[in-house]
Amino acid sequence: MQTYNRQGDRASKSSLPYSREDWKRGYLSQTQESAYWIDDIEGEIPPELTGTLFRVGPGLLNIGDYPINHPFDGDGMACAIAFKDGRAFFQNRFVRTQGFLEEQKAGKPLYRGVFGTQKPGGWLANLFDLRLKNIANTNIIYWGGKLLALWEAAEPHRLDPKTLETEGIDRLDGLLEEGGAFSAHPHIDPASQFDDGKPVLVNFAVKAGLSADITIYEFTPDGTLQRQHSHAIPGFAFLHDMAITPNYCVFFQNPVSLNPLPYLLGFRGAAECVKFDPSAPTNVILIPRDGSRDVKIIETEPCFVFHHANAWEEEGEVVVDSICYESFPQPDPDSDFREVDFSQIPEGQLWNFRVNLQENRVRHEVVEPRCCEFPVLHPSKVGRKNRYLFVGIAHPERGNAPLQGVMKVDRETGARQVWSFAPRGFGGEPTFVPRPGGTAEDDGWVLLLVYDAQTHRSKLAIFDARSIDAGPIAELKLKYHIPYGLHGNFTSEYFGG
Ligand code: FE2
């Protein structure tokens, strides 16, 4: 019998709402690849729910006998859950990247990871080896008839949406050069003003160095490049995500510096050489989507952002909701990430920024202090003022902890709805799927993949988005666990068995 913990449960430091052993087991590798109809279901899958949820994340947390140093270094494993007529078909498959194939053959790491995974043999074995292993583990999206697994520092890998078989690196019809970056955070403008109100996919690429070159790409629904422009930005830039409005791509340039020496010398991964500078500002960078006007850079107080929730334009301001950290949430590079002391790392919180374009001034406030990450919303509200957000949350109302549930935030009334899978369930990024024919912004479903430590299996929880606090309307229990993942997307096309 599954028991749930309702909103209002509190946890003190002496009684954590989870056990570390449970949480760690969600970071065990999953070597099994499978494809099956899900038949272990509690509740009912809504019959109108049609389409495919694609997700990706690290599937391997070790290579042979060698543990990787950070989950972000794990080889990408794609999952798909396809829904049709009240049934669901699951599959998972590793992305056959060149590095994955080589290392599985060798049984050991042959490449260094950006987040500190080293080749065996100490620093001498890693000295000046600056090759990148494209691990295709960060996001997966179906666009222009292609299913693309994304990793921000190199090209997408194209997968067969029906089988998840890897078809190869995709340079987007020659748009990307060999090894060319393509961010893992594309955003879909549902009604682009530059394209007769049609949807476009907006993405970016960053070449980081002493200064940064940001290239913006926009693609029509058939995958054709519609716009492309590049901009040089002063200073080192660690840009993982952006937000879009009808007129702008919005970036937050975190106040970080890079000292590459320990990386070059083989002691540290590149991302471990990034240092937060609390004396420097965060720069809000506004790049006009049509490329016709100058880039605007406006300073605000130092903070760190991986993910933006949404942005819109209102009365001469660009308004941005983001998951914000007081500083770079970096675990101690010398300790195992599985033993991380959550209390020593800042938690993400939902912040609101108002960027005044006339006065070149930014105001901000904390919208939700509870530890949260991975915000999503109704796809028709991307770049527009939205009422609802759905976000992964920790169980305790304050302090840093693993994500164990989902929260619905009503930005208009301030109301919250919460569901937690504590103590033995652990979550990640929710996905919002609109109900076909629905008009209300919360008329749809929220899908959340949950690791259940009790059974050491994962399950997909389906919520009615109007009433998150009523708990899942269905739980689809998978045969095996899926290690904690990163991002994914839903397409209304069915790619099941
Ligand atoms: Fe991300």
Q: What is the 100 CA–ligand 1 centroid distance (Å)?
A: 21
Q: What is the pLDDT of residue 454?
A: 98
Q: 54: how many CB neighbours lie within 10 A of its CB?
A: 27
Q: What is the 122 CA–ligand 1 centroid distance (Å)?
A: 30
Q: What is the 308 CA–ligand 1 centroid distance (Å)?
A: 9
Q: What is the 2 CA–ligand 1 centroid distance (Å)?
A: 31
Q: What is the 187 CA–ligand 1 centroid distance (Å)?
A: 12
Q: What is the 239 CA–ligand 1 centroid distance (Å)?
A: 10
Q: What is the 47 CA–ligand 1 centroid distance (Å)?
A: 31
Distance between first and last Cα of the chain: 30
C-alpha span between 79 and 489 (Å, rounded): 11
Rounded to 10 degrees, what is the CA torsion of 273, 276, 282, 288?
20
Flag whether 13 is in a domain: no
**CA-based nearest residue to 75, from 157, 20, 142:** 157
Q: What is the 39 CA–ligand 1 centroid distance (Å)?
A: 31
Q: What is the 487 CA–ligand 1 centroid distance (Å)?
A: 7
CB 278 within 8 A of CB 302: yes
C-alpha span between 230 and 287 (Å, rounded): 10
Query: pLDDT by residue for the chain (497 residues), tens digit each?
Result: 333 344 434 434 447 899 999 999 999 999 999 999 999 999 999 999 999 999 999 999 999 999 999 999 999 999 999 999 999 999 999 999 999 999 999 999 999 998 889 999 998 888 888 888 999 999 999 999 999 999 999 999 999 999 999 999 999 999 999 999 999 999 999 999 999 999 999 999 999 888 899 999 999 999 999 999 999 999 999 999 999 999 999 999 999 988 888 888 888 888 888 899 999 999 999 999 999 889 999 999 999 999 999 999 999 999 999 999 998 887 777 778 888 989 999 999 999 999 999 999 999 999 999 999 999 999 999 999 999 999 999 999 999 999 999 999 999 999 999 999 999 999 999 999 999 999 999 999 999 999 999 999 999 999 999 999 999 999 999 999 999 999 999 999 999 98
Q: What is the 488 CA–ligand 1 centroid distance (Å)?
A: 10
Look at the chain and report how many structural domains it folds into. 1
C-alpha span between 157 and 97 (Å, rounded): 8
Flag whether 7 is in a domain: no
Q: What is the 86 CA–ligand 1 centroid distance (Å)?
A: 31
Structure tokens belonging to residue 235? 């200073």
**CA-based nearest residue to 78, from 99, 101, 56, 98:** 56
Flag whether 11 is in a domain: no
Q: Please give the angle made by the CA atoms of 42, 164 and 135, to the nearest 5 degrees.
A: 110
Q: What is the pLDDT of residue 10?
A: 40
**CA-based nearest residue to 123, from 261, 275, 257, 274:** 261
C-alpha span between 271 and 107 (Å, rounded): 25
CB-based contacts of 9, cutoff 8 Å, min separation 6: 17, 395, 420, 422
Q: Which amino acid is at 210?
A: L
Flag whether 5 is in a domain: no
C-alpha span between 117 and 113 (Å, rounded): 5
**CA-based nearest residue to 484, from 404, 420, 419, 418:** 404
CB 286 within 8 A of CB 354: no
Q: Torsions phi, psi of 61, nearest 5?
A: -110, 5
Flag whether 94 is in a domain: yes
Q: What is the pLDDT of residue 4?
A: 39
**CA-based nearest residue to 2, from 429, 446, 372, 474:** 474
Range of the domain at 272: 20-491
Q: Please give the angle made by the CA atoms of 230, 142 and 451, to the nearest 5 degrees.
A: 110
Q: What is the 409 CA–ligand 1 centroid distance (Å)?
A: 20
Structure tokens belonging to residue 71? 């989950």
Q: What is the pLDDT of residue 471?
A: 98
0.85 surpassed by pTM: yes
**CA-based nearest residue to 307, from 237, 392, 373:** 373
Flag whether 54 is in a domain: yes
CB-based contacts of 312, cutoff 8 Å, min separation 6: 245, 318, 319, 383, 384, 385, 386
Flag whether 29 is in a domain: yes
The CATH number for 106's domain is 2.120.10.30
Flag whether 28 is in a domain: yes
DSSP string, 85-110: TTEEEEEEEE---HHHHHHHHHTS--
Query: What is the chain's alpha carbon radius of gyration, rounded to the nearest angstrom?
Result: 21
Q: What is the pLDDT of residue 273?
A: 87
Structure tokens belonging to residue 194? 């530059």
Q: What is the pLDDT of residue 6?
A: 40
Q: Torsions phi, psi of 12, nearest 5?
A: -95, 170
Q: What is the 186 CA–ligand 1 centroid distance (Å)?
A: 10
